[in-house]
Amino acid sequence: MISVGEGQAHVLARVTSVTSPELIPVPGALGRVLADDLRAPFDVPPADNSAVDGYAVAGSDIPAAGTAALHVIADLPAGSVFDGAVKPGQAVRIMTGAPMPAGTDTVVPQELVERARDQVKVPTTAKGSNVRLSGEDVRAGAVVIEAGTVLRPQELGVIASLGLPQILVRQKVRVAILSTGDEVAEPGDPRKPGQIYDSNRFALRGLVEQAGGAATDFGIAPDVRDELRARLLEAGRAADIVLTSGGVSVGIYDLVKDVLGEIGGIDFWQVAMQPGRPMAVGRIGEALFFGLPGNPVASMLTFLLFVRPALWKLAGRRDMFAVQFPAVATEPMRKKPGRREFKRGVLTFGARGWEVRTTGPQGSGILTSMVAGNCLIVIEEERGDVKPGETVLIEPFSW
Ligand code: AMP
Ligand code: MG
C-alpha cells in the first residue's frame, strides 16, 4: 500500500520529457502553455503618454493658485503626434494615449479648463499628473510571462500588446482513452442483459480536454487477448498517455497485466485512498500507461490525482496540482484513519465563510454524486471522523 503523495511522486518521476513547442496564432492560444519566457521587446507603454483627454502643459506654467492663461498651439486628434516643442506659456490639446509633446510633463483634464479660441485657462494641478510613464507597465527586456504559464485572456492581451501575432506554446498532450470489459456497452447500441453503458470514456475525455489535453477515442476493448494487445499497441503509438478504465481489480485484470508485461511494463498499486484503491501504472513504448479503476467516481478521481499532474508536467506547466483551501464542515463525516478520503462536496459561502457538506451517498459507483457536487472534500490520512464545525480541505472542480 502506498500513500496518495507517494503515488503522485512516482508518477511525476516517470515523466521525464515535455511536449515540443509549436508556433500558433494568439487568438487560438487560450488555455495553452507558454513554451519560453516571454520578454518585452520594448517598453510598454513605449512613450510617456496622456492618461486623459486634456491639455499638455509644462509644470512650470501651472499656477500655485487661481488660473493661468496659456496659448494653445496645436489641437491633436487621437493617434497624431506633436513633433515640435512646447515653449513656456504654451499648451497642446491632447487625447488619451497620445505621446506627451516635448516640453510638457503634466496633463490638465479638459473638464477642468476654460477654453476660448486659442486661449486656455488652467487651474492649479499637481505637476506630473495624468501622465502614464514609458515602461511603467513593462520594461524592455523584462520577463512578462513565465514559461509554463497557462494562457488566460489577460495573457493573450499582453502578448498582443507586445505586437506579437503568434506565440510559442507546448503541443497538446495526446491522450488515448479506452474502456475494457465485455460488460460495457456503447451508448446508442442496445444494451444486453448484464451490461452497463460506458460512462468512463466520456467523463475521462472531458477531464482530458478540460486539462488541456487532446483526447483520442479508442473505444471499448473486448476481453480478447489479441484484440486488446493490438488496440493498446496502436494507442501507445498514437498518444503520449494511454488511459484504460476497468479491469484492474477483477475480470480482465490478468489480460491487461499480461499484455502490458509483453508490450511495455506495468506496476499495480494499492493506494491508501477512498474511493479508487487499485490502479496500474506502466508504459507502452514511449507512452505512459494508466489503468484506472472501473468504478466511475474512482476513475475520475484517480485521473485528477495521478493522471492530470502527469499530463500537466508533460505539457510543461509550472503548476501541477489544483488549488485546495479550508472550509468548515456543516455536517458530520465518516472517516477511517490510515487513508486519504475524498468525498464529493457542496461548497457554499455562509455565516462561517466557506462551508461544505457532502452530496449524500458516497459510493464509488454513484456518478451523480459528482454531478451534485462542486468540489472534492479531502480528508487527510491521519484524521478520523469529522465533526460539524471542524475544518476540512476542499478542492473545487473548476477554478
Ligand atoms: P472493474 O474495475 O472492471 O472491476 O469494474 C468495477 C466497476 O466499474 C464495475 O461495476 C464495472 O461495471 C464498472 N465499470 C467498468 N468499466 C466501466 C465503464 N467504462 N463505464 C462505467 N462503468 C464501468
Ligand atoms: Mg471489468
Question: Is residue 183 included in any domain, yes or no?
Answer: yes
Flag whether 101 is in a domain: yes
User: What does the block give as the cell for 17?
Assistant: 520529457
Residue 49 has pLDDT above 90, yes or no: yes
pLDDT of residue 268: 87
* pLDDT, mean over the chain: 94
pLDDT tens-place string over residues 223-246? 888 998 999 999 999 999 999 998
Q: Which amino acid is at 353?
A: G
Q: Whose CA is nearest to atom 6 of ligand 1?
A: 294
Tell me the CA distances in angstroms from 209 to 203, 205, 235, 296, one per residue in order: 10, 6, 17, 18
Cα 287 from Cα 174, distance rounded (Å):
10
Query: DSSP assignment of 17-83, as one string?
Result: --PPEEEEEGGG-TTPBB-S-EE-SS-BSSS-EESSSEEEE-GGGS-SSSEEEEEEEEEPPTT----
Per-residue pLDDT at 278? 85
Q: Assign residue 108 the CATH number of its domain.
A: 2.170.190.11
Task: Establish whether residue 36 lines the binding site of ligand 1, counting it when its CB lies within 6 angstroms of any ligand atom.
Answer: no
Q: Please determine, for residue 347, whether its predicted confidence score (pLDDT) is greater than 90.
A: yes
Q: Quick one: 110 and 161 in the same domain? A: no
Q: Are residues 77 and 214 in the same domain?
A: no
Kindly report the CATH number assigned to the domain that includes residue 358.
2.40.340.10
Asked whether residue 214 falls in the same domain as residue 260, the answer is: yes
State whether 166 and 233 are in the same domain.
no
CA distance 7 to 168: 32
CB atoms within 10 A of CB 12: 16
C-alpha of residue 51 to centroid of ligand 1, in Å: 62
Q: How far apart are the C-alpha atoms of 313 and 148, rounded to whole Å?
A: 9
- Mean predicted confidence (pLDDT) in 28-41: 97
pLDDT at 364: 87
Q: Is residue 191 part of a domain?
A: yes
Q: Answer whether residue 95 is part of any domain.
A: yes
- The pLDDT of residue 248: 64
Task: Kindly indicate the confidence band of residue 250, based on its pLDDT and cuts at 50, 70 and 90.
Answer: low
Do 182 and 302 lie in one domain? The reply is yes
In angstroms, rounded to a whole number, what is the distance separating the alpha carbons of residues 298 and 278? 9
Collect all residues with Cβ–Cβ distance below 8 Å to 276 and sequence separation of at least 6.
292, 293, 295, 297, 298, 299, 301, 302, 305, 342, 364
Residues 86 and 220 occupy one common structural domain? no
Q: Find the 301 Cα to ligand 2 centroid distance in Å.
A: 18
Count structural domains, the chain: 4
Percent of the chain with pLDDT strictly greater than 90: 86
Q: Are residues 200 and 299 in the same domain?
A: yes
Q: Is 6 helix (H, G, I), strand (E, B) or coil?
A: helix
The residue range of the domain holding 281 is 4-18+172-314
Whether residues 163 and 176 share a domain: the answer is no
Are 116 and 126 in the same domain? yes
CATH code for the domain in which residue 197 is found? 3.40.980.10
Render pLDDT for 140-175 as a digit per residue (tens, 0 to 9). Answer: 999 999 999 999 999 999 999 999 999 999 999 999
On the question of pLDDT at 342 being above 90, the answer is yes
Q: What is the mean pLDDT of residues 258-282?
A: 89
Is there a domain that residue 319 lies in? Answer: no
137 lies in a domain?
Answer: no
The predicted structure's pLDDT at residue 77? 78
Asked whether residue 329 is domain-assigned, the answer is yes
**Residue 249's pLDDT band (cuts 50, 70, 90):** low
| 21 ligand 1 Cβ < 6 A | no
What mean pLDDT comes out for the span 348-359?
Answer: 97
3-state secondary structure of 360: coil
What pLDDT is stored for residue 154 in this prediction? 97
Residues 70 and 190 in one domain: no
Ligand found nearest the CA of 250: 1
Pocket lining: 184 vs ligand 1, CB cutoff 6 Å:
yes
Residue 148 sits in a domain of what CATH number?
A: 3.90.105.10
Top-confidence residue, 119 or 262: 119
Name the band, by pLDDT with cuts 50, 70 and 90, for residue 139.
Answer: very high
* 399 pLDDT tier (thresholds 50, 70, 90): low
| Pocket probe mutation, ligand 1, options 245, 257, 268, 364, max atoms within 8 Å of Cβ | 245
d(C-alpha 322, C-alpha 211), whole Å: 11
Same domain, 32 and 153: yes
Q: From ligand 2's centre to the CA of 183, what distance in Å?
A: 7
Q: Is the CB of 295 under 6 A from ligand 1?
A: yes
How far is the centre of ligand 1, averaged over its atoms, from the C-alpha of 182 (Å)? 10
